[in-house]
Amino acid sequence: MLERLIALVAGLIVATISGAGYLGIVLLMAIESACIPLPSEIIMPFSGYLVSTGRFDLVLVATAGALGCNLGSAAAYAVGYFGGRKLVERWGRYVLMTRHDLDLVDRFFARYGGVTVFLCRLVPIVRTFIALPAGIARMPLLRFHLYTFLGSWPWCYALAYVGVRLGEQWDRDPRLKQAFHDFHLVIIGILALALAWYVRRHWKHRLPAQD
Protein backbone atom coordinates (compact mmCIF):
# COMPACT_ATOMS: atom_id res chain seq x y z
CA MET A 1 0.00 0.00 0.00
CA LEU A 2 2.74 2.41 0.97
CA GLU A 3 4.75 1.65 -2.14
CA ARG A 4 1.70 2.26 -4.31
CA LEU A 5 1.19 5.62 -2.61
CA ILE A 6 4.84 6.50 -3.22
CA ALA A 7 4.55 5.52 -6.86
CA LEU A 8 1.37 7.60 -7.27
CA VAL A 9 2.85 10.72 -5.66
CA ALA A 10 6.17 10.37 -7.47
CA GLY A 11 4.39 9.76 -10.79
CA LEU A 12 2.29 12.90 -10.35
CA ILE A 13 5.37 14.97 -9.56
CA VAL A 14 7.40 13.58 -12.47
CA ALA A 15 4.57 14.07 -14.96
CA THR A 16 3.87 17.64 -13.81
CA ILE A 17 7.48 18.80 -13.91
CA SER A 18 8.26 16.96 -17.14
CA GLY A 19 5.24 18.48 -18.84
CA ALA A 20 5.16 22.01 -17.43
CA GLY A 21 8.83 22.71 -16.70
CA TYR A 22 9.59 25.51 -14.26
CA LEU A 23 5.87 26.31 -14.04
CA GLY A 24 5.29 22.76 -12.84
CA ILE A 25 7.81 23.29 -10.03
CA VAL A 26 6.03 26.49 -9.02
CA LEU A 27 2.65 24.73 -9.03
CA LEU A 28 3.78 21.70 -7.02
CA MET A 29 5.60 23.78 -4.42
CA ALA A 30 2.56 26.06 -4.15
CA ILE A 31 0.44 23.02 -3.31
CA GLU A 32 3.05 21.91 -0.76
CA SER A 33 2.94 25.32 0.94
CA ALA A 34 -0.85 25.58 1.04
CA CYS A 35 -1.06 23.18 4.01
CA ILE A 36 -1.23 20.17 1.67
CA PRO A 37 1.62 17.75 2.48
CA LEU A 38 2.93 17.11 -1.03
CA PRO A 39 6.59 16.45 -0.18
CA SER A 40 9.14 18.91 -1.47
CA GLU A 41 11.64 16.17 -0.62
CA ILE A 42 10.50 14.49 -3.85
CA ILE A 43 9.66 17.57 -5.95
CA MET A 44 12.99 19.34 -5.70
CA PRO A 45 15.39 16.37 -6.04
CA PHE A 46 13.65 15.31 -9.27
CA SER A 47 13.94 18.90 -10.50
CA GLY A 48 17.62 18.73 -9.64
CA TYR A 49 17.92 15.51 -11.61
CA LEU A 50 16.63 17.37 -14.66
CA VAL A 51 19.32 19.99 -14.03
CA SER A 52 21.90 17.22 -14.39
CA THR A 53 20.45 16.34 -17.80
CA GLY A 54 20.82 19.93 -18.99
CA ARG A 55 17.11 20.71 -19.13
CA PHE A 56 16.98 23.07 -16.16
CA ASP A 57 19.27 25.55 -14.40
CA LEU A 58 19.91 24.93 -10.69
CA VAL A 59 19.44 28.55 -9.56
CA LEU A 60 16.24 28.90 -11.59
CA VAL A 61 14.93 25.61 -10.16
CA ALA A 62 15.51 26.83 -6.59
CA THR A 63 13.93 30.18 -7.43
CA ALA A 64 10.88 28.53 -9.02
CA GLY A 65 10.50 26.38 -5.91
CA ALA A 66 10.73 29.37 -3.58
CA LEU A 67 8.23 31.36 -5.66
CA GLY A 68 5.86 28.41 -5.47
CA CYS A 69 6.22 28.43 -1.69
CA ASN A 70 5.24 32.09 -1.62
CA LEU A 71 2.27 31.50 -3.90
CA GLY A 72 0.85 28.62 -1.90
CA SER A 73 1.59 30.27 1.42
CA ALA A 74 -0.40 33.34 0.40
CA ALA A 75 -3.63 31.33 0.37
CA ALA A 76 -3.03 29.76 3.80
CA TYR A 77 -1.90 33.13 5.17
CA ALA A 78 -5.11 34.77 3.93
CA VAL A 79 -7.27 32.15 5.65
CA GLY A 80 -5.49 32.79 8.93
CA TYR A 81 -5.35 36.56 8.50
CA PHE A 82 -8.95 37.24 7.53
CA GLY A 83 -10.52 34.43 9.51
CA GLY A 84 -8.31 34.90 12.53
CA ARG A 85 -8.59 33.07 15.80
CA LYS A 86 -12.39 33.20 15.70
CA LEU A 87 -12.52 31.21 12.45
CA VAL A 88 -10.11 28.61 13.76
CA GLU A 89 -12.04 28.27 17.01
CA ARG A 90 -15.20 27.65 15.00
CA TRP A 91 -13.76 25.23 12.45
CA GLY A 92 -10.50 24.17 14.04
CA ARG A 93 -11.94 20.94 15.37
CA TYR A 94 -12.12 19.64 11.80
CA VAL A 95 -8.32 19.85 11.54
CA LEU A 96 -7.89 18.79 15.19
CA MET A 97 -6.58 22.19 16.30
CA THR A 98 -6.61 22.95 20.03
CA ARG A 99 -6.73 26.19 21.99
CA HIS A 100 -3.29 25.30 23.26
CA ASP A 101 -2.05 25.44 19.66
CA LEU A 102 -3.56 28.88 19.18
CA ASP A 103 -2.11 30.21 22.43
CA LEU A 104 1.30 28.82 21.51
CA VAL A 105 1.18 30.50 18.11
CA ASP A 106 0.25 33.85 19.65
CA ARG A 107 3.14 33.69 22.13
CA PHE A 108 5.67 32.47 19.59
CA PHE A 109 4.97 35.20 17.04
CA ALA A 110 4.77 37.87 19.74
CA ARG A 111 8.24 36.87 20.96
CA TYR A 112 10.11 36.06 17.73
CA GLY A 113 8.13 37.78 15.00
CA GLY A 114 9.05 37.17 11.38
CA VAL A 115 12.07 35.03 12.20
CA THR A 116 9.55 32.31 13.10
CA VAL A 117 8.55 31.98 9.43
CA PHE A 118 12.15 31.99 8.22
CA LEU A 119 13.26 29.24 10.59
CA CYS A 120 10.17 27.07 10.12
CA ARG A 121 10.70 27.13 6.36
CA LEU A 122 13.89 25.17 6.99
CA VAL A 123 12.15 22.44 9.02
CA PRO A 124 10.50 19.42 7.33
CA ILE A 125 6.72 19.02 7.81
CA VAL A 126 6.43 22.20 9.91
CA ARG A 127 7.28 24.31 6.84
CA THR A 128 4.11 23.12 5.12
CA PHE A 129 1.79 24.58 7.78
CA ILE A 130 3.54 27.73 9.05
CA ALA A 131 1.64 30.17 6.81
CA LEU A 132 -1.69 29.62 8.60
CA PRO A 133 -0.45 30.64 12.08
CA ALA A 134 1.49 33.50 10.50
CA GLY A 135 -1.80 34.82 9.16
CA ILE A 136 -3.54 34.31 12.50
CA ALA A 137 -0.73 36.29 14.14
CA ARG A 138 -1.32 39.02 11.51
CA MET A 139 2.30 39.16 10.51
CA PRO A 140 2.85 42.06 8.05
CA LEU A 141 2.32 40.71 4.54
CA LEU A 142 5.50 42.05 2.95
CA ARG A 143 7.65 40.72 5.78
CA PHE A 144 5.84 37.38 5.60
CA HIS A 145 6.61 36.95 1.91
CA LEU A 146 10.19 38.11 2.36
CA TYR A 147 10.91 35.60 5.13
CA THR A 148 9.01 32.89 3.27
CA PHE A 149 11.18 33.37 0.19
CA LEU A 150 14.44 33.68 2.12
CA GLY A 151 13.70 30.54 4.13
CA SER A 152 12.37 28.55 1.17
CA TRP A 153 15.15 29.28 -1.34
CA PRO A 154 18.02 27.51 0.46
CA TRP A 155 15.71 24.58 1.25
CA CYS A 156 14.78 24.24 -2.43
CA TYR A 157 18.37 24.73 -3.56
CA ALA A 158 19.74 22.10 -1.19
CA LEU A 159 17.20 19.47 -2.21
CA ALA A 160 17.68 20.24 -5.90
CA TYR A 161 21.46 20.00 -5.47
CA VAL A 162 21.01 16.51 -4.03
CA GLY A 163 19.10 15.65 -7.19
CA VAL A 164 21.89 17.07 -9.35
CA ARG A 165 24.52 14.95 -7.67
CA LEU A 166 22.35 11.85 -7.84
CA GLY A 167 21.68 12.53 -11.51
CA GLU A 168 25.38 12.82 -12.27
CA GLN A 169 26.01 9.39 -10.77
CA TRP A 170 22.72 7.75 -11.80
CA ASP A 171 24.05 5.54 -14.59
CA ARG A 172 27.41 4.91 -12.94
CA ASP A 173 26.12 3.20 -9.81
CA PRO A 174 22.90 1.10 -9.99
CA ARG A 175 22.67 1.18 -6.20
CA LEU A 176 21.56 4.81 -6.44
CA LYS A 177 18.22 3.82 -7.96
CA GLN A 178 17.43 1.65 -4.96
CA ALA A 179 18.71 4.32 -2.57
CA PHE A 180 16.50 6.95 -4.18
CA HIS A 181 13.51 4.61 -3.93
CA ASP A 182 14.28 4.03 -0.25
CA PHE A 183 14.60 7.78 0.24
CA HIS A 184 11.05 8.26 -1.05
CA LEU A 185 9.88 5.49 1.26
CA VAL A 186 11.46 7.14 4.28
CA ILE A 187 9.90 10.53 3.46
CA ILE A 188 6.40 9.12 3.01
CA GLY A 189 6.86 7.04 6.18
CA ILE A 190 7.87 10.12 8.19
CA LEU A 191 4.86 12.04 6.91
CA ALA A 192 2.54 9.16 7.82
CA LEU A 193 4.00 8.86 11.34
CA ALA A 194 3.81 12.62 11.84
CA LEU A 195 0.17 12.64 10.79
CA ALA A 196 -0.64 9.74 13.11
CA TRP A 197 1.06 11.52 16.02
CA TYR A 198 -0.77 14.75 15.24
CA VAL A 199 -4.17 13.05 15.12
CA ARG A 200 -3.57 11.10 18.33
CA ARG A 201 -2.31 14.15 20.22
CA HIS A 202 -5.11 16.47 19.12
CA TRP A 203 -8.19 14.29 18.87
CA LYS A 204 -9.12 14.34 22.55
CA HIS A 205 -8.42 18.06 22.85
CA ARG A 206 -9.89 19.35 19.61
CA LEU A 207 -11.92 22.53 19.80
CA PRO A 208 -15.67 22.09 20.36
CA ALA A 209 -18.08 23.61 17.88
CA GLN A 210 -18.70 27.32 18.42
CA ASP A 211 -22.07 29.00 17.91
pTM of the model: 0.75
Mean pLDDT of the chain: 77
> Is 209 within the bounds of a domain?
no
Q: Widest CA span of the chain, in angstroms?
A: 63
Total domains in the fold of the chain: 1
**Residue 211 falls within a domain, yes or no?**
no
Please say whether the beta carbons of 36 and 128 come within 8 A: yes
Q: Which amino acid is at 148?
A: T
Higher-confidence residue of 182 and 62: namely: 62
Decide if pLDDT at 122 tops 90. Answer: no
Tell me how far apart the alpha carbons of residues 110 and 121 are, in angstroms, rounded to a whole number.
Answer: 18
CA distance 54 to 85: 47
3-state secondary structure of 56: coil
pLDDT of residue 119: 85
- pLDDT tens readout for residues 52-87: 888 899 999 999 999 999 999 999 899 888 887 777
In-domain check, residue 49:
yes
Residue 210 lies in a domain: no
In a domain, 47, yes or no: yes
By percentage, how much of the chain surpasses pLDDT 90?
26
Domain around 129: 2-203
Does a structural domain hold residue 208? Answer: no
**Quick check: is 83 in a domain?**
yes
